Structure 1
């Protein structure tokens, strides 16, 4: 089959690799019909090289048609249409029972001290082959895939793999009071969708902050009050306070996390880690890793006293400078974590209808053949061509 593989820092290519096969009675093999490029994929593209090997298959946002089922699978049959959540979660352990599928006890990567395995996401999360490919082996065939109806285009459902549940959790964790205000930092796919969900769920004021004109215009068209960081810079929090009666936003969603290209001292450390031998680079990232904390600093400044910060952007630093005194003094509630995809599916599925309240049908800015994935990664990384969300079609 053809699949998008990591070959080195800033280097991915579509190669011919062995087809996946049934390895466990509960496995299924899915013929992928659409698969997204995620901002987290850019972390692999640029930052997390020490945890990858040339040839690793990337991608964690696939859907498609069940091609083959293992002898232990009773919930699905060949020909069924499914979305594959990015958490590799069993659905039956204690953590999954608590709705914490990103902490699945069956697939936790104990040798790395991390949570549930993830499709296409390096040694840190199990080194499971990803879904930017023609075919994908999916474990836990009875409990992990989300069966969806035939008929509507893939765009209607594919975001159940990551974008929709991740953004939904960001809003849930933000605990926006009815009619209250929320500021979304970063209007990439997750921030954009989080803003849409916040409006749908009754937020009275949604403020979106970014510095890419196309992303700002896209959010503005959905009713978000946008702030261009190029214009406000260090004064962004002051403007947010002005817009919220001087008090600050009831909640702030940090949808940025660590910049995929690195910045400042953090970027220098990431670049160094990528040129060192893997074992040394991993130790540098794990013991001295540092993130650019710009978005988090704005969040702490812009949230009102007693408000909530919801972090859905991925951070990876081990020694990040967290302003604990300010967090304590302002009595800020802080919630964060990898999205628990299956926890939110039942809440979201009813919204994926002909009325399309969240705008999923035209959410993708680009739909490209899998063979063009290498150029798509470059364009997405450079924030060019108005690219916000790309679907690859094998």
Structure 2
């Protein structure tokens, strides 16, 4: 594993201001998502030197250079930058979908189906067929083939696209299965799109497994090109694992990307002087990608520490996510979250999902485990859990993420299906 500088000192009061120094510290103990990472001083200073042209006119060299870099890394002809993973997924799907009726096969937990505000139906006039993996973990070609709608039955919307997600709930979709699904799609002239919001984590895991160097562009290119070879298109989020402040990117053929740009404009997604945010993403790809293997190691440490206490783990920990179930040792999830948030130096989690990002510290992981151990000890001693007062800021975070907000709540949805968000 490559040894890299710790991120804790990457924001200074002199450059970023004390408020941002404090924000970085809080972020280093916040397990809700890897979207929470804080842009570093060096990242923003790098962005200051970016070009300042109009990308809608294709006149921003920094943005164009990032697109060319990611296209080359993934073995595709072209790429297009946009503001979010939801936008790049929906733009890619809309570009694939020519004319209804048409349908898309996804995993029932897929982000494109569950967490993108119904965009497939809204923008592409397509229906989704959500499949349950027979192995309980990931879809296979055997799951998908019987569900393909291939005939001319006017009662059924024909399958035009298969959308896979890698990682899904932090779990890696085996590449040999991706290849089989790709061959099936090609056989029936069906498109293949990857929601690769966290494909960087898959690449980092594969690089480490092969003994390659995550700091070398050629090694990244070798692995990413192989991972994306079965797909016609892919969406790669830049603001999750990599820690860019904003942005996602679609890769595909040159013709596909040119068509996607039309839809980006129609969706209001064109960005004028976006060189600064593209440069921040480019910096993250260079400097933060090599840290992903460390996030995986910390997630494994969290899993192992919790399992030693008897805490349940709901899904394999392949990369940077741990789905923990304290109920198995008699602790309610709400009480555990409150106790973590009430620590002198609070730890914040978003219900059962813990996401280890590149700014989480080893100390936060150890204190997480120690807090649960203390709660277990109290439970065994007197059958009760002591819950100290939660600070106002921490309570606001917990309430925002987990409490009801209308009749159908995010918290309820997460309890119904712990995985797939």
Q: Which range, TM-score by smaller chain? A: 0.3 to 0.5
Between structures 1 and 2, the one with greater helix share: 2
Between structures 1 and 2, the one with greater strand share: 1
Q: Calculate the TM-score normalised by the size of structure 1.
A: 0.38
Looking at both structures, which has the greater relative contact order when contacts are Cα pairs under 8 Å and sequence separation is at least 6?
Answer: 2
Q: Calculate the TM-score normalised by the size of structure 2.
A: 0.36
Q: Which has the larger radius of gyration?
A: 2
